[in-house]
Amino acid sequence: MVRRITFSVQGDVIYELESAPGMWQEQLLEKHVTYSPLPPHVQEALKGIEPSHDGELLYYPCRAVLKSGEACDTVYIVSENPYIKYWGVYPENDRGKRWIKMEDIAEVAESPLRLPAQFANEIYRNGESGMGYTIFTVVFSDGSRQAYGMGNAVDFVRYPNGKGPRNVVAVIPHEGRNDTTRVDGSDYCWCLYSA
């Protein structure tokens, strides 16, 4: 016996579930895009970018130039299978996520807005600060600090004027909850590839 259950708020469908004995299937897990493998030029460029690690998931925080000439300094290049295992929904099915296709990328380089991998890894190791969000403080070489609040992808930060990755000397996970100068992380795009 299969029945469809539709949840809605004010008449708008949020998602639909089908139930069958012993299993649930969400439409959000349906794959609508076939992801390309890493092209040789991207694969070669990623060798020069230190990934950050969130458990088994490797993030390559990049600057990507598209074939259209448009550039984005905040792109996560991630393998499809670990991504879906961790995030549970494909980026094209999540209204809160932006994404680009691998075949649209002309060039890849390290992002000038990324948190250095050693510090991003420290935040990932310490886990989220609350359900679906992470708060942390970055300490800079001049002794100044900046608190950040963002989701669970923490690699891209909005650096204060005159500061960048080379100025970061430490991070303090979960500190900054009540800091009135706390800022959000940078907007970013996902770019998945098939392994």
**What range defines the domain where residue 14 resides?**
1-30
Q: Which residues contact 87 (CB under 8 A, 6 or more apart)?
A: none
In this predicted structure, the answer to whether residue 9 has a pLDDT above a threshold of 50 is: no
CB 173 within 8 A of CB 123: yes
Residue 35 lies in a domain: no
CA–CA separation, 97 and 91 (whole Å) = 6
Mean pLDDT of the chain: 86
User: Which of 57, 79, 70, 88 is closest to 154 using CA atoms?
Assistant: 57
Same domain, 86 and 105: yes
Residue 69 lies in a domain: yes
For the residues 5-18, what does the mean pLDDT come to? Answer: 39
At 40-71, the pLDDT tens digits run: 999 999 999 999 999 989 999 999 999 999 99
Between 15 and 116, name the one with better pLDDT. 116
Q: What is the pLDDT of residue 146?
A: 98
Same domain, 105 and 167: no
Same domain, 133 and 175: yes
User: Which of 48, 118, 94, 56 is closest to 190 using CA atoms?
Assistant: 94
In this predicted structure, the answer to whether residue 15 has a pLDDT above a threshold of 80 is: no
CA–CA separation, 116 and 50 (whole Å) = 9
Same domain, 50 and 98: yes
Q: What is the pLDDT of residue 121?
A: 98
Report the number of distinct structural domains present in the chain.
3
What are the structure tokens assigned to 194, written together?
């098939």
Q: Give the confidence band of 94 by pLDDT, cuts at 50, 70, 90.
A: confident
Same domain, 145 and 166: yes
Same domain, 91 and 126: no
Between 16 and 128, name the one with better pLDDT. 128
What are the structure tokens assigned to 133, written together?
């969000």
